């Protein structure tokens, strides 16, 4: 209930920005649909959880239903994490002038996450001791936890570290080029760093509680959905706000507008010249 209340509250306080920056976008916009997925699909599944949780904890559920619940939770959490990674990865991709190598690297890392998810679901979940109460299940055996869950967490952290590392590298190069303190670069650094620590904290709490054999580790799932949904929506709004403000308040003088990069769309960054693009 608390995680749903938080997500509902966040939806209400960001509704004005959503109407201004999201609703006006064409229906062909990928990020508009991604925003709706994070915001409204997140709300829908949290409402579903309000009705599902009492049944799952009634003591009348079968082992097969509990197992399906565990698989559903793992896949859903991964999908939300991937949504955040896509938003950040597209920004990095744009900063590196649509580098094919960057796209392949980040794509392979995200694909590796799903490979590890399949391994964890296939090998770890059958080892779970399923009690009558599905949600408050017992933590995984320590041997399974160490070999599989920790490895899966490491893969996700490697992806996040790569995205943040590439952003910081571009920030350093941007400072040398003279536009490292622009709103665009500042936004990317702030959002990327915040996302990194949010995801790290979620997995740290989850892994720590599993290590301590604390049944409350399962409850983190509900909060993960709400927190990731909320922050993912804010990432999209922040970038769209910067895009629209840049178009509205652009400086007409050619010598000023050619000094710094600016966003020309949700996935493009326009740089001063081809020579500058290659040098940074």
Residue-wise pLDDT for 177-232, tens only, equals: 666 566 667 777 888 888 888 887 877 777 666 666 656 666 777 888 888 899 99
**Phi, psi angle pair for 263, to nearest 5°:** -85, 130
CA distances (Å), origin 2, targets 171, 179, 195, 280: 38, 43, 22, 46
pLDDT value of position 203: 74
Q: ∠ CA(206), CA(40), CA(239), 5° rounding?
A: 85
pLDDT value of position 254: 35
Neighbours of 216 (CB within 10 A): 11
- Contact at 8 Å (CB) between 259 and 270? no
At 64-95, the pLDDT tens digits run 888 888 888 888 988 998 999 999 898 888 88
> First vs last Cα of the chain: how many Å apart?
48
Q: ∠ CA(59), CA(48), CA(6), 5° rounding?
A: 110
- Contact at 8 Å (CB) between 22 and 35? yes
The whole-angstrom separation of Cα 90 and Cα 102 is 10
The whole-angstrom separation of Cα 202 and Cα 265 is 31
* DSSP, residue by residue, 25-45: S-TT-HHHHHHHIIIIIHHHH
pLDDT value of position 199: 82
CA distances (Å), origin 120, targets 45, 59, 127, 277: 23, 26, 10, 42
At 24-41, the pLDDT tens digits run 888 888 999 999 999 999
191, 193, 194, 199: CA torsion to nearest 10:
120
The whole-angstrom separation of Cα 199 and Cα 197 is 6
């Amino acid at each position: 209930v608390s995680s749903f209340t938080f997500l509902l509250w966040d939806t209400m306080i960001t509704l004005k920005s959503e109407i201004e920056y999201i609703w006006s976008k064409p229906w062909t916009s990928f990020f508009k649909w991604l925003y709706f997925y994070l915001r409204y699909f997140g709300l829908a599944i949290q409402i579903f959880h309000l009705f599902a949780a009492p049944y799952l904890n009634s003591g009348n559920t079968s082992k097969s239903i509990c197992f399906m619940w565990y698989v559903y939770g793992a896949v859903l959490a991964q999908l939300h994490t991937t949504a955040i990674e896509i938003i950040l990865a597209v920004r990095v991709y744009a900063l590196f002038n649509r580098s094919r190598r960057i796209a392949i690297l980040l794509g392979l890392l995200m694909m590796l996450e799903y490979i590890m998810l399949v391994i964890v679901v296939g090998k770890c979940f059958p080892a779970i001791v399923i009690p009558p109460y599905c949600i408050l299940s017992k933590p995984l055996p320590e041997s399974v936890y160490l070999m599989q869950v920790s490895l899966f967490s490491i893969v996700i952290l490697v992806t996040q570290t790569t995205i943040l590392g590439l952003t910081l590298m571009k920030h350093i190069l941007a400072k040398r080029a003279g536009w490292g303190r622009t709103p665009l670069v500042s936004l990317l650094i702030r959002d990327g760093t915040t996302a990194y620590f949010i995801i790290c904290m979620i997995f740290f709490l989850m892994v720590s509680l599993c290590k301590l054999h604390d049944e409350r580790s399962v409850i983190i799932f509900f909060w993960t959905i709400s927190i990731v949904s909320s922050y993912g929506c804010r990432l999209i709004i922040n970038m769209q706000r910067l895009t629209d403000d840049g178009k509205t308040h652009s400086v007409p003088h050619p010598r000023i507008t050619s000094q710094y990069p600016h966003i020309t769309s949700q996935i493009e960054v326009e740089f001063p010249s081809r020579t500058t693009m290659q040098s940074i």
